[in-house]
Amino acid sequence: MSLFHFLWKTKALPSVQFIVWRALINSIASKDNLGRRGVAVVSNLCFFCRVEVETTGQLFFECRIAWVVWNHCYIWLGLGSVDHHDYVSHFLHFKLLNVPINVNVVWGSVWIAVVGEIWKHRNKHIFKGEWLIIPKVHLGLTKGMVLGYI
């Protein structure tokens, strides 16, 4: 099953699947991508950590704040993980071998939920001035899992 076929099979909300699809093809509106498209940005640093240039990979996986979100997710699920900084590899990490497709659909939905929550909280910070609070992200994930992602 191809990467994108797997993505569209997950039980995530279509709006979140769309954000993840854009992230996987590196066309999400990160500061780096906006700059390459000719959009003037005041600073190209990540909105969360304000240390590194905000690229797709940095925003969702390399940023120290995103790392904390993923780490909380791994602990919550009782998993150990090797973190991939490449978003496609990171997504495929949630596709298990030799398990029924419905199990992989659930695991893929977990990944999509985390990426969706990071994106949502980034935009809340940009447009509403709200800071990312890890327990709020975790609460959003659990509500999302119950109400729509899984």
Token output for 96:
């298990």
Q: Is this structure's pTM higher than 0.85?
A: no
- Count each helix (H run) and each strand (E run) in the chain, helices first: 8, 0
For residues 11 and 104, give the distance between their C-alpha atoms in angstroms, rounded to a whole number. 10
DSSP for 111-123, written as a single string: HHHHHHHHHHHHH
Taking only Cα atoms into account, the Rg of the chain, rounded to an integer number of angstroms, comes to 15
Amino acid at 69: V
User: What is the pLDDT tens value at each position of the chain, 150 positions in all?
Assistant: 577 887 888 878 888 889 989 998 999 999 999 999 999 998 999 988 899 999 999 999 889 888 888 888 778 777 776 666 676 777 777 666 666 777 777 777 888 888 888 898 889 888 888 876 666 666 666 555 544 544
